[in-house]
Chains A and B, each alone.
Chain A
Amino acid sequence: MEIRYTAEHEWVAIDGNRATVGITDYAQRALGDLVFVQLPTVGSAISRGAVAAVVESVKAASDIYSPLTGRIIEVNAATVSDPSLVNSDPMGAGWLFKIECNDTSELTQLLDESAYRQIAQ
């Protein structure tokens, strides 16, 4: 599995035409303790750049954009009942949703780790 990133501080784990999405450690640090997570509906269609999820800390709400165009095939309901999972394990147990991707060419527009590291400093 290959991990890519977006400039909006999401990580995208790619497995063929399926991708798991979450927020990076940098993002969870910047947001602080999360208290609310809203996830997309399984089965819904989503476009790249559209708001897919919302995470809220004590101080603010933040939109999570879909990094790809496709269909939501799974969401991590555990983060809804325990938003702190996103803080404690953002790239593992704190994943947010999975997408089945329509157009795998979109994958090439994501950032690799070294490109993302330059943004997340």
Chain B
Amino acid sequence: MNSRPSTASPPADPLRRLPLHDLHVAHGARMEPFAGCVMPIHYTLGVLGEHRHTRAAAGLFDVSHMGQIILRARSGENRDAALALETLVPVDVVSLRQGRQRYAFFTTPSGGISDDLMIANLNTCLYLVVNAARIASDVAYLRERLSAHCTVEVLTDRALLAIQGPSACAALSALVPMVAAMRFMDADVFSIDGASCFITRSGYTGEDGFEISVPAAMAATIVERLLDHASVKLIGLGARDSLRLESGLCLYGHDLTADTTPVEAALEWAIQPARRVGGARVGGFPGSEVILSQLSHGAERKRVGFRPDARPVREGAALFADATSNAALGQITSGTYAPSAQCPVAMGYVPASVAHIGTRLFADVRGQRIPVTLSDMPFVPHRYRR
């Protein structure tokens, strides 16, 4: 047996142990390094069972490895923090209302993506959640570019939980009844046992659910209280990855990189009219020339979904027009077996000229050409509470 994971990279620093480490071990987690942290990959239920449980009931994830950042305007006006942040993202932050959250990405001068993130307007500040592997560079970048107008505070004393699935609302509202009134992408601050918690109705599974930022000292207590609800089980990062991929959601460093633009990545929907040509605050973000031009004229390649025949096709597999050609058309960026769709699924980049639903291509899996069919995403329907 020799595993060929395509995503491992050696950590540069000693591994971080997060606040819920002991709780995971006590619940039978298999702990492995991930993005510089020791994280639960799966529990005794296993990846397949955990994936299915999340779609059937409620999955509770520890995502404390992710970066939580508070951006606060020095003027005291939250609008000034939004205006400042708009210089780094092609997203309309200014009209993000109090109590709302929005998906965004930092762009590079050449139009690539240096990280994707969530931005919530918590009235007195903006609350950002960034990818674990990008925390240090994102924070350095925010401080370098925004310090004249904003303070940038990294919340190292908080854990981040996600509860996802059709029973997530019932389970969380047992602790915080008010969350039942929230809609998809609402964001607010609530008290749980006196602790200030930032709760958003969002997630990374395609299911209804919430992300909950809690003081580290309270995290284990809140997890155990959520686990008291019969429908809730702990879910590891293995199922988190298969759930997000099955839902067509991108993973930074794989489906999105500094070499992929938002238009190539099919994320045009996240660039609101205010930042486009003809909008009130057109451009003004890194790489705006490239990105605005691609919004008008299209990009030469596109991120698309695939349904491989018969077997999983993994990240890095080259894509070909036929079973014998040697000229690769593109590449798979994520691929797995989808436990709920019950078939292999993948996403990757292909020339726009072939990016049509139903196109048949071939993925090279170590010399074997596996037929793949270009497919609509998500692979299972989203079930957000809009």
Question: Do A and B belong to a common assembly?
Answer: yes
Q: At the interface, yes or no: A36 with Cβ under 8 Å from chain B?
A: yes
**A23-B49 Cα distance, complex, nearest whole Å:** 21
Q: Mark B1-31, 1 if CB is under 8 A from A, else 0.
A: 1111110000000000000000000000010
Q: Mark A83-112, 1 if CB is under 8 A from B, else 0.
A: 000010000000000000000000000000
Q: Check if A33 sits within 8 Å of B311, measured CB to CB.
A: no
Q: Interface extent on A, as a size class?
A: 20 to 34
Chain A residue nearest to B344 in the complex (CB)? A36
Shortest CB-to-CB span from A34 to chain B, Å, is 9
Number of A-B contacts (CB under 8 A): 71
Q: At the interface, yes or no: B238 with Cβ under 8 Å from chain A?
A: yes
Chain B residues with CB below 8 A from A27, complex form? 1
Checking A10, A36, A56, A58 against B238 with a beta-carbon cut-off of 8 angstroms, the contacting residue is A58
Q: At the interface, yes or no: A1 with Cβ under 8 Å from chain B?
A: no
Q: Mark B39-79, 1 if CB is under 8 A from A, else 0.
A: 00110001111010000000000000000000000000000
**A59-B49 Cα distance, complex, nearest whole Å:** 14
**Interface residue ranges of B259-316 to A (CB < 8 Å):** 311-312, 314
Q: At the interface, yes or no: A63 with Cβ under 8 Å from chain B?
A: yes
Q: Check if B337 sits within 8 Å of A58, measured CB to CB.
A: yes
Chain B binding surface, main DSSP class: mixed
Shortest CB-to-CB span from A88 to chain B, Å, is 11
Q: At the interface, yes or no: A74 with Cβ under 8 Å from chain B?
A: no
**Interface residue ranges of B74-129 to A (CB < 8 Å):** none
Chain A residue nearest to B8 in the complex (CB)? A60
Chain B residues with CB below 8 A from A55, complex form? 1
Q: Check if A61 sits within 8 Å of B47, measured CB to CB.
A: no
Q: At the interface, yes or no: B336 with Cβ under 8 Å from chain A?
A: yes
Checking B5, B30, B239 against A60 with a beta-carbon cut-off of 8 angstroms, the contacting residue is B5
Q: Mark A34-52, 1 if CB is under 8 A from B, else 0.
A: 0110100000000000000
Chain B residue nearest to A38 in the complex (CB)? B311
Shortest CB-to-CB span from A86 to chain B, Å, is 11
Checking B51, B312, B339 against A61 with a beta-carbon cut-off of 8 angstroms, the contacting residue is B312
Q: Check if A57 sits within 8 Å of B47, measured CB to CB.
A: yes
Chain A residue nearest to B239 in the complex (CB)? A58
Shortest CB-to-CB span from B340 to chain A, Å, is 12
Q: At the interface, yes or no: B242 with Cβ under 8 Å from chain A?
A: yes
Q: Check if A8 sits within 8 Å of B46, measured CB to CB.
A: no
Shortest CB-to-CB span from B69 to chain A, Å, is 29
Q: Mark A4-47, 1 if CB is under 8 A from B, else 0.
A: 00001110000000000001000100111101101000000000
In the complex, which of the residues B49, B238, B337 has the most CB atoms of chain A within 10 Å of its own CB atom? Answer: B337
Q: Check if A59 sits within 8 Å of B1, measured CB to CB.
A: no
Chain A residue nearest to B6 in the complex (CB)? A60
Chain A residues with CB below 8 A from B5, complex form? 59-60
Q: Check if B1 sits within 8 Å of A62, measured CB to CB.
A: yes
Q: At the interface, yes or no: B364 with Cβ under 8 Å from chain A?
A: no
Shortest CB-to-CB span from A74 to chain B, Å, is 20
Chain A binding surface, main DSSP class: strand
Q: Check if A36 sits within 8 Å of B47, measured CB to CB.
A: no
In the complex, which of the residues B1, B3, B4, B242 has the most CB atoms of chain A within 10 Å of its own CB atom? Answer: B1
Q: Check if B314 sits within 8 Å of A61, measured CB to CB.
A: yes
Shortest CB-to-CB span from B366 to chain A, Å, is 9
Q: Check if B1 sits within 8 Å of A60, measured CB to CB.
A: no
Checking B4, B6, B30, B51 against A58 with a beta-carbon cut-off of 8 angstroms, the contacting residue is B51
Shortest CB-to-CB span from A108 to chain B, Å, is 22
**A91-B3 Cα distance, complex, nearest whole Å:** 20
**A120-B208 Cα distance, complex, nearest whole Å:** 41
Q: At the interface, yes or no: B211 with Cβ under 8 Å from chain A?
A: no
Q: Check if A31 sits within 8 Å of B1, measured CB to CB.
A: yes
Q: A35-B312, A36-B311, A36-B312 are in contact. Are A58 and B47 (CB under 8 A)?
A: yes
Residues of A within 8 A of B (CB): 8-10, 23, 27, 30-33, 35-36, 38, 55-65, 87
Q: A27-B1, A36-B337, A64-B1 are in contact. List 5 more A-B contacts (CB 8 A).
A: A10-B1, A58-B241, A60-B6, A62-B1, A62-B3
- A-B pairs, 10 with minimum CB distance: A35-B337, A33-B48, A60-B5, A58-B47, A9-B1, A33-B46, A62-B3, A27-B1, A63-B2, A58-B242
Residues of B within 8 A of A (CB): 1-6, 30, 41-42, 46-49, 51, 238-239, 241-242, 311-312, 314, 336-337, 339, 344
29 intermolecular pairs with C-beta atoms under 8 Å apart: A10-B1, A27-B1, A31-B1, A31-B3, A33-B46, A33-B47, A35-B48, A35-B312, A35-B339, A55-B1, A56-B311, A58-B51, A58-B241, A58-B242, A58-B336, A58-B337, A59-B5, A59-B47, A59-B238, A59-B241, A59-B336, A60-B4, A61-B3, A61-B314, A62-B2, A62-B3, A63-B4, A65-B1, A65-B2
